[in-house]
Every structure is written in structure tokens, then in C-alpha cells.
Chain A
Amino acid sequence: MPNPPLTEAVYYILLSLLTPLHGYGVMQRVEELSSGRVRLAAGTLYGAITSLLDRGWICALPENGRKKEYVVTRAGRAALLEEHRRLRELYENGAKLLEDQV
């Protein structure tokens, strides 16, 4: 069964964790990726990270004295690709029909 559509926050968190990052790094990367439009608050990010860890879509890297870092797992990457395909379909259909009208 396909995954339900991801929320904007989860999509951006997964995208930013294609390379390992700690929590604050995720907040900065998401803001940067969305040109300042999506600003995740720390409590919201913590809840999202906890549920992504539970789903096995991200994992925590072994700590070496620094802040805890996370990275996308294979399952997380598959979910991200699936969402990317869905968004592309939405975008392409929108472009086809809307641009005809302009």
C-alpha cells in the first residue's frame, strides 16, 4: 500500500537528512532549502524526528561526544522517492492544464 502523502515538514526533514545532521542543523537546512518559507520550531521537529525514528525512516548515528546526528535510512529514501514521484505528477498535470489556459 502506498504511503499517505508526507507533510511539508516531514518531506523537508527527510530531504535535509540525506546527509547526516543534528537537530539544529535540520532546522537551518530546512529554512535554507525553502528560502526561509518553512521554519520548523524545535518542539515540532523533535516530535517529527521521534516518529521518523519509530518508523525506521531515519536513524541516529553513534554518538562521539558531539550532538546527536541523524540520517535517512533505505526505507526513508524509498518514502522520499515515492513522495517525489507523487509531487512531480501533481506538478506536471498542473503545469499541463494551467499553462494551456494562460
Chain B
Amino acid sequence: MKKTVRRLFPVWAFEEEEQWLRNMAEDGYVLTGVGWCRYEFEEREPCSHDVALDLLEYAPAAPESVRYISFLEEAGWEYVGSVLRWAYFRRKREGEAAALYSDSASRVKYLTRALRLIALVGGLNLMIGGCNLTLYGLNGLAVSLLGLVNIALAVLCGYGAGKVRKKKQDLEREENRFQ
């Protein structure tokens, strides 16, 4: 049976999103397609699949990403699809649950890419919000209210980035504890 769920995850909540997709797979709903705030699932055996989320360094169609995706496919992961640079993978479970990264150094790199994206989204909102607010005289109240929304989003991005940064620092500290 197929099931489509519409759900919005903020840009910094990628780990919660991945956990949610894993929980869905554990309940027997395996991810088969993705779109903007849209997830498609198919009912299978509970716990039969692992799901993972990755942030590609390049656009999904770029040769570097194509190489990376086919490397993961050779290693048993299936590419479900992508939204912007977020790529979704699933894998038939054999024995223990599988993940895409197995050491702190590679997880730190992944979190660094995510932080860069959050900073970009936050920075753009701050800039657009600033412009909308300062152009109040020209554009009227509606635009400046929109500007306030942008600024609020930028503040939220800052909060999200702080959470991700903390996770990254904890991993780095753990890695360098005895160095």
C-alpha cells in the first residue's frame, strides 16, 4: 500500500527528519520518493530497510555527485531521490542497522556542510528581511511585515545553527580528547 505524507522540516532539523524516516521504516513504511515537503512510502515488512539522509557537496546531477551516488549504490544503498542537495537513500537491512557515516571525522564534515547551508539560508533571509524593512517607505506595510517574517526566519536559522554547531563541537572534542 502506498502512502504520501506532507511534512515540513526546518533546514536545521535534518537529524530529526532522518530519525522520523527511520521510525517510519521500522513501522513498515519504506521511503520510495521525495519532493518538496512530500514523502512517499510503500508498506513493507517492518524493520526491513534502513534510511539515510545526506547533504551532497554538489548538485545531484553534477558528475561528482553522480560518482558518489553510484559508489553508494555499489555498496548496497538505493538512491531514492533528492530535494535541492539533500539526497535520500535506503538499504535492505542485513544484520545490524546501517548508516552512511561510521566515524566522527566524516560526521563532522557532514555537519560542516549542513552548517554552511543553514548559514546561507539564514544570511539570505537576513538580507532580504533587511531590504524589505528599509524599503518600508517605498513598498508599504505588507512588504515590511514580510521583512519581519524574513528576520524571524533568520533568527530561527541562527538558533538551529547553534544546535548543529554544538553537536559538531562535541564530536570534535571527542575525537581530539587524547591528542
Interface centre among A24, A39, A42, A67 (most CB of B within 10 A): A42
* Distance A24 CA – B110 CA, assembled complex (angstroms): 21
Chain A interface residue number, banded:
10 to 19
Tell me whether B103 and A44 are in contact (CB under 8 A).
Answer: yes
B2 contacts chain A at the CB level, 8 A cutoff: no
How many residues belonging to B are interface residues under a CB distance threshold of 8 Å?
18
Q: With A24-B76, A47-B109 in contact, do A40 and B71 touch (Cβ < 8 Å)?
A: no
Tell me whether A43 and B106 are in contact (CB under 8 A).
Answer: yes
CB under 8 Å from chain A, chain B span 106-131:
106, 109-110
CB nearest to B52 among chain A residues: A43
Q: Which of B68, B75, B101, B109 contacts A27 (CB 8 A)?
A: B75
B54 contacts chain A at the CB level, 8 A cutoff: yes
B77 contacts chain A at the CB level, 8 A cutoff: yes
* 4 A-B pairs with least C-beta separation: A43-B100, A41-B102, A42-B75, A44-B106
25 A-B interface contacts by CB (under 8 A): A7-B105, A9-B102, A22-B74, A23-B71, A23-B75, A39-B102, A41-B98, A41-B99, A41-B100, A41-B102, A42-B71, A42-B76, A42-B77, A43-B100, A43-B101, A43-B106, A44-B100, A44-B101, A44-B105, A45-B75, A46-B68, A46-B72, A47-B106, A47-B109, A48-B106
Binding site for A on B (CB under 8 A): 54, 68, 71-72, 74-77, 98-103, 105-106, 109-110
